[in-house]
Structure 1
């Protein structure tokens, strides 16, 4: 969730967009000061693994680390954080490839049997996704996994909270700095994930809001078949062909998503360029129905059906929003 950019800068965008962009910058500077001073709960160092560590070994070690983080948070009087951490492994069977309880936290969780999956989806979240808000991110991953498995049992979904997401109202959400840092982590993770998944697994990246800025900067190998940008403020690129990937690029936005009202303007390092759903960007379109900004993965929605079809390789580009410049 972040403000959007525009076509190659502010030229021709009008005074109204400049004014709104300036207002967003001012709000981002003023509002988050008190939140930034919030103390973090204590937590142990994250578990360390060799490159060849099997997923089940990672799951066991990270469950133990998660339990210790919850214990330390409770001992420090951070009962809210402790409760949220316990909820992340309430049944004692959670599958975390990575977990770090320090600060706002990081977590990479698997839903499904990764080692036998031939369809693997990586969800990349947007702003304000932390261990304290993790359950809403997880709910989307669970919803997608259930939808995929209904038609393709050999599916797995990976919820990748592998970076420090910016706050929705912050200076960080207006620039690509956090996204550049995240992309440097996500690219190598995708390479490792390919080796953990079933032979010849098809990988898809589903990128929400500020997460679309991350994905647009991530170099992907041939195992990544599709990159999907939804609820996107822009990517910083003028065209899908400028992204460092050979994957098909998709973009969609629900009619109820407020981010469509944010001006697609760019002023220096502020803003993210061309709107990905603009035919000029060249992404394949998909039907997102009436989805609001946080609704794309809700059960029973048109957007969820469309995203599942893309992952499974059965989707056709929406002729209403796809452009002839889309990737083959």
Structure 2
């Protein structure tokens, strides 16, 4: 009976998982953005490849057979489709997304020099940005954020290293001498604050599909297999995506659990790493999974089987990518293959 009561208490606490970066706040139910990008109906009406049914490899093959003028014409007339097609030429996607972001009122994303790899204005809006030259990179990393992240908070100026843009830029600055490209990927609907969304895997399941397609797209365009850095609720996304993820490394940091009991259960050929600093409040989240609530085993537990990333000098839940930390130095070494 006592064990049963402890389980109920743990489950109750698990519903208060804050899987992202905004701290303790009330949660709001979110509906995952899924399916092909906006504008797909008009695209299909021209007899063009169905974005919902065409693989990134097929997308790459399709664009390889087009003239430059034809590519530019499609990007101009169908920016939201071209900009979100994994497997399409990355420079063309940058152009298309700059046009789409400006048209949708996201002027800061359309500023010259920004390399927006994906932009979807639906819901709270999603975005991915590249730091470095993805076409020539010898090493690639992807940063997957946790809760409370969307196109408007993607590159906020407060709590910088709790944002995908801040984490990615810090990692890029630490690795750019090695011809590295880093993708800040806020390409899924994240939970908002505390609530059922943060304590369950529904949004993560939808995100996992999109993340797997991203890595397939990188492969289709000739990029090296990435190191994928998964922060907080983003590690739930990565845990569910792992069997389909074309990645060299998967790194969970500040994780509430990955919805698997061990590295073996992830069914991945990637090396799996985990980091948690002593001051991270995520340690207060019970590592249980019961009736769909909670995310299971702490990836930093020895029994999980992940390689441990030192993080004692990181501060709080969003300090892992702060310059000068041992965790950032280790992340950089993982990215460039020095570990």
Same fold (TM over 0.5): yes
Kept after mapping to 2: 8 A contact 1:256/1:290? no
Q: 3-state SS of the aligned residue for 2:130?
A: strand
Distance of aligned partners of 1:236 and 1:13 in 2 relative to their CA distance in 1, 3 Å threshold:
farther
Distance of aligned partners of 1:191 and 1:220 in 2 relative to their CA distance in 1, 3 Å threshold:
farther
- TM-score in terms of structure 2 length: 0.75
Q: 3-state SS of the aligned residue for 2:241?
A: coil
Kept after mapping to 1: 8 A contact 2:131/2:172? yes
- The alpha-carbon deviation at position 273 of structure 1 amounts to 1.2
- The alpha-carbon deviation at position 96 of structure 1 amounts to 1.3
Kept after mapping to 2: 8 A contact 1:21/1:265? yes
| Alignment match of 2:180 (pick from 146, 155, 165) | 155
Kept after mapping to 2: 8 A contact 1:96/1:108? yes
- TM-score in terms of structure 1 length: 0.77
Structure 1 residues not aligned, in runs of 5+: 1-10, 37-43, 71-84, 316-328
Aligned to 1:32: 27
Aligned to 1:5: none
1:112 has 2:132 as partner:
yes
Structure 2 residues not aligned, in runs of 5+: 19-24, 31-37, 40-78, 156-162
Aligned to 1:226: 249
Q: 3-state SS of the aligned residue for 1:259?
A: helix
1:52-75 alpha-carbon deviations (Å, 9 max, x no partner): 5311111011001111111xxxxx
1:28-52 alpha-carbon deviations (Å, 9 max, x no partner): 9x9335x97xxxxxxx856112665
Aligned to 1:298: 322
Distance of aligned partners of 1:26 and 1:59 in 2 relative to their CA distance in 1, 3 Å threshold:
closer
Q: For this pair of structures, how many residues does the alignment match?
A: 278
C-alpha separation between the residues in 1 aligned to 2:108 and 2:122?
Answer: 17
Aligned to 2:166: 139
Aligned to 1:214: 237
1:236-285 alpha-carbon deviations (Å, 9 max, x no partner): 11111110311111111012211012111222110111111000000111
Aligned to 1:48: 81
Kept after mapping to 2: 8 A contact 1:18/1:265? no
C-alpha separation between the residues in 2 aligned to 1:147 and 1:119?
Answer: 12
C-alpha separation between the residues in 1 aligned to 2:204 and 2:259?
Answer: 10
Root-mean-square deviation (Å): 2.7
Q: 3-state SS of the aligned residue for 2:192?
A: coil
Q: 3-state SS of the aligned residue for 1:250?
A: strand
